Amino acid sequence: MTHRIGVVTFPGSLDDRDAQRAIRIAGAEPVALWHADHDLQGVDAIILPGGFSYGDYLRAGAIAARAPIMTEVISAANAGMPVLGICNGFQMLTEAHLLPGGLIRNEKGNFIRRDQGLIVESTDTAWSNAFTQGQEIVIPLKNGEGGFIASNEELDRLEGEGRVVFRYSGSNPNGSMRDIAGISNAAGNVVGLMPHPEHAVEPGFGPDTQNAMRSGTDGLGFFASALTALLAV
Amino acid sequence: MPKADLLDPQGKAVAGALSRLGHDTITDVRIGKRFELTVEGEVTEQVLADVATLADEIFSNQVIEDVTSIRVDEAQA
């Protein structure tokens, strides 16, 4: 049976089509979900894509986090369904209180776009089990408000519970506390990160590698992980 | 307002500009938001309590911001 992974489109989403494409390339069936519906169409997993939902008005992800479909997304996430928030989707997950902490404007105030090295810190999640602990992967990063912040107690809890899933390798691009690029909830089914795995899934269109230009496909591991997690259910 | 112990890159950029313009006595700038709400009828304790809840839960994100004040202004007749 082909697993069905939903991608929610909000007003201002940009990377919803790329996420759908990545799901297809990974061997699953993408399902377009709409922010104003109260219907998850029976999907097995959900991706909240990147972009600038509602023009980042109020706070990045804040209005989208209160969209009609988020009622169902939050229930599904709490029931254990794999949910991945990428960039603006990560911001939504923090605004919806599915993940702790928050994202603020980059330390230097500018928008950053570059191929970004990440260290996989935890493989114990629905979206990172295809990697090995300590593995370095490279996927694109592109954001203006990617500085992850949380209280020291919260950061200690995240570290202690192994919920820091990805950490920036090399120089910290946005002032994120403890170089955190992505985190998970306690159960490991909900993961949010600022960099974009869906832009590194197809040779010819990914980051440069030592082998060839634009040949990087490290993003595929995220989607392969979800399929493994779904098979285990 | 952004929490006092958090970096406010927006305010920092403005402070840098003021410094370049020679306003040396201004040492820091922090930038927050103000929401103006119009309500129908009288601003009762209940309305104020509702607004305070909205301020905490929607207008601000308590992880990164603080609500510093809620004020009632009478509408111009």
Provide the number of CB pairs (under 8 Å) joining chain A to chain B. 37
- B4 in contact with A, Cβ within 8 Å: no
Q: How far is A159 from chain B (nearest CA, A)?
A: 18
Q: Any CB–CB contact under 8 A between B64 and chain A?
A: yes
Q: Which of A102, B52, A28 is nearest to A47 (CA)?
A: A28
Q: What angle do CA B20, B21, B26 make, to 5 degrees?
A: 85
Q: Considering its fold, how many domains does chain A have in total? A: 1
Which of B58, B59, B64 faces A104 most closely, judged by CB atoms? B64
pLDDT 10s digits, A155-181 = 999 999 999 999 999 999 999 999 999
Whether residues B10 and A104 touch (CB distance < 8 A) is answered with no
Q: So what's the pLDDT on residue A96?
A: 97
Distance from the B72 Cα atom to the nearest Cα atom in chain A, whole angstroms: 21
* Tokens of residue A68, six digits: 């009609």
Arithmetic mean of pLDDT, A187-213: 96
Burial B17-50 (b: 16+ CB within 10 A, else e): eeeeeeeeeeeebeeeeeeeeeeeeeeeeeeeee
Listed in sequence order, the residues at least 6 apart from B57 whose beta carbon sits closer than 8 Å to its beta carbon are none
Low-confidence ranges of chain B (pLDDT < 50): none
Nearest to A175 among B2, B7, B58 (CB): B7
**Percent over 90 (pLDDT), chain A:** 97
Mean pLDDT score across all residues of chain A: 96
Which residue range(s) make up the domain with A156? 4-232
B13 contacts on A by Cβ (under 8 Å): 109
Q: Which residue of B has its CA nearest to A144?
A: B9
Burial class (CB in 10 A: 0-12, 13-18, 19+), A67: buried
CATH for A12: 3.40.50.880
The strand pairing partners of A232, in sequence order, are none
Burial of A74 (0-12, 13-18, 19+ CB in 10 A): middle
| Contact yes or no for B9 and A149 at CB 8 A | no
What pLDDT, on a 0 to 100 scale, did the predictor assign at position B7? 84
Is residue B9 a contact partner of residue A107, using CB atoms and an 8 Å limit?
yes
- At residue B6, the pLDDT reads 85
What is the ipTM metric for this complex? 0.82
Q: How confident is the model at residue A216 (pLDDT cuts 50, 70, 90)?
A: very high
Which residues in chain A touch residue B2, judged by CB atoms under 8 angstroms apart? 104
Sign, Cα dihedral of A130, A134, A136, A141 = positive
Q: Rounded to whole angstroms, what are the CA distances from A62 to A35, A91, A155, A157?
A: 13, 8, 22, 24
Residue A144: per-residue pLDDT: 94
Statement: residue A67 has pLDDT above 90: yes
Residue A159: active-site member: no
Q: Is A229 in a helix, a strand, or coil?
A: helix
Q: Which of A99, A36, A102, A44 is nearest to A66 (CA)?
A: A36
Other beta carbons within 10 Å of A203: 13
Residue A56 has pLDDT above 70, yes or no: yes
Q: Using an 8 Å Cβ cutoff, are A202 and A25 in contact?
A: yes
Looking at chain A, the whole-number percentage of residues with pLDDT higher than 70 is 100
CB contact under 8 A, B13 and A107: no
Flag whether pLDDT at A203 surpasses 90.
yes
